[in-house]
Amino acid sequence: MDETYQGGCLCGGLRYLARGKPINERVCHCRLCQRAIGAAFNARLLFAKSQVTVEGDTTTFNSSPDLKRHFCPRCGTTVFSERASTQAYAITCASLDEPERFRPDMHFWTSSRQPWVKLDDGLPQHPEAAPA
């Protein structure tokens, strides 16, 4: 059976369908993600671009030379990001129609973790970038 993940933005103008299993499911605590998402961390699922179909327009912003963030031009919801060096989309967990399906496998950039966020889930933690 083909596993699918669906989701989109707050206003519904931007929708996506991801087919198959995610490459990984991680929580990033870096300051760029905190600012871009407007929250203490970015919980995201990584899919190969070939697994994802996007309907609707996106506006992009390069938050670093290698990372482009896609958001809805109407409501501003950040839905996914992509690195120039990979062929993958990092889809935000909160944009999923069923965010409870998110199963994180690690935390990274924990050196930027907000002090009131307690990490007691037993998952691996990396002070900077996730290992390759």
Query: What ranges do the domains of the chain cover?
Result: 4-108
d(C-alpha 71, C-alpha 10), whole Å: 10
Place of tokens 């990979």: 86
Per-residue confidence in pLDDT tens, the chain, 132 aa: 479 999 999 999 999 999 999 999 999 999 999 999 999 999 999 999 999 999 999 999 999 999 999 999 999 999 999 998 899 999 999 999 999 999 999 999 999 999 999 999 999 999 999 987
DSSP secondary structure letter of residue 10: S
Query: At a CB cut-off of 8 Å and minimum separation 6, what does 59 contact?
Result: 70, 71, 72, 73
The CATH architecture assigned to 4-108 reads Beta Complex (2.170)
Locate 128 and state its tokens.
């900077």
Among 127, 16, 129, 22, smallest CA distance to 78 is for: 16
